[in-house]
Amino acid sequence: MPRFLTDHEHGVVSAAVDRLVPPLDAHPGGAALGVADYVDNLLGAFTFDPPRIFAGGPFSGRFGGEASFARFIPLSPHEELAWRTRIEGSRGMPEREFNGPTRGWQEIYRNGIVALGADFCEVDGDEQDRRLHAQGELRGVLYVHACEGAYGPPEYGGNRDRAGWRAIGFEGDVQPRGYTDDEVSGRA
């Protein structure tokens, strides 16, 4: 259920992210990891209540304890101001422009996806790379979001089935199990 991206935009983000975080050997790549879902969750964070900005705690539940990451933490009014401004842009609202205007991620994605071309998903990889390079602002934002979506906790919408962590040999949150002293000090 998309929150912000249209089906076409979701497809373009998936295709683009597979150029930035491509599949290789045991690594499924950004598209299969659900980076586009991560981006959609972020751009549409305020369609959730509480907004999907800060996952809860203390434990993921993946190594014992109650699964609490999925209970997102409500934002303070200032935090809402900051995150709405990042996501939606300042749109001329004085309370968002105390240090000047901000272009929001929604606009950067929406305009950037148009600029990549309606046939972006059909052209070959080299052409996709050329077009992404020409859209430096989108490419820069998308790469950071791709890393977050590939290797962050899955509660934010990406890292599907924790496949990003499995590919790189990382467990994420292991509380409350932790690691034994031998697992810390030993070679393996």
Partner 1 sequence: MPEPRDCDAVVVGTGPAGATAADVLTGAGWSVIALEKGRNHLLSLEAPFAGLGHVSNDEIKSLRRYFLGPDPFLEPRTYRRDERDGDRLFAGEVNNLPSTVGGGGFHADGKLPRLRAVDFKPYSSLGPIEGADIVDWPVDYDEMEPYYAQAERLVGVAGDADANPFAEWRSGPYPMPPGADMFGAALTTEAATRLGYHPYRAPTGVNSVPYDGRPACNNCGFCAYYGCPIEAKGDPIAPLRNALRSGRCEIRADSYVERVLLDPAGKQARGVRYRDLDGDAHEVSARIVVVAGGAWETPRLLLRSGLANSSGLVGRYLMYHFQTFVIGRFPFRLHGHRGRSVTHLHDDHMIIDDDVRRFAREHGLPYFRGGLTEHGGGGGPVMEGVYTSPGVAHTREMLESTMRDRMWAFTIQGEDLPQATNRIDLDPSVRDVHGFPAGRATYDVHPHEVVASRYYAPRLVAVMREAGAESTFAATSPPLEGDRAGRRSASMSRHIMGTCRMGDDPATSVVDRWQRFHDVENMVCTDSSVFPTSTGYGPTLTIVALAIRACRDLAGLPKLTSSRPR
Comparing CB distances to partner 1, the nearer of 107 and 129 is 129
The nearer residue to partner 1, 7 or 124, going by C-beta atoms, is 124
Q: How far apart are CA 177 and CA 64, in angstroms?
A: 6
Q: Residue 70 contacts by C-beta under 8 Å, 6 or more apart in sequence?
A: 55, 56, 155
Binding test (CB under 8 A) with partner 1, winner from 5, 15, 34, 86: 86
Residue with tokens 């422009």: 97
Kindly state the smallest distance separating residue 54's Cβ from partner 1, in Å.
Answer: 5
Q: Closest Cα to residue 118, out of 21, 35, 6? A: 6
The answer to whether 135 and 112 have CB atoms below 8 angstroms apart is yes
Stretch that binds partner 1, among 2-10, 48-56, 104-112, 114-122 (CB under 8 A): 48-56
Is 113 an interacting residue with respect to partner 1 (CB under 8 A)? no
Query: What span, in angstroms and rounded, lies between the C-alpha atoms of 124 and 55?
Result: 37
Residues at the site binding partner 1, with contacts judged by CB under 8 A: 19-27, 29, 53-60, 68-69, 73, 76-79, 81-82, 85-86, 98-99, 102, 129, 139, 143-144, 146-148, 150-153, 156, 164-165, 167-170, 172-181, 183-187
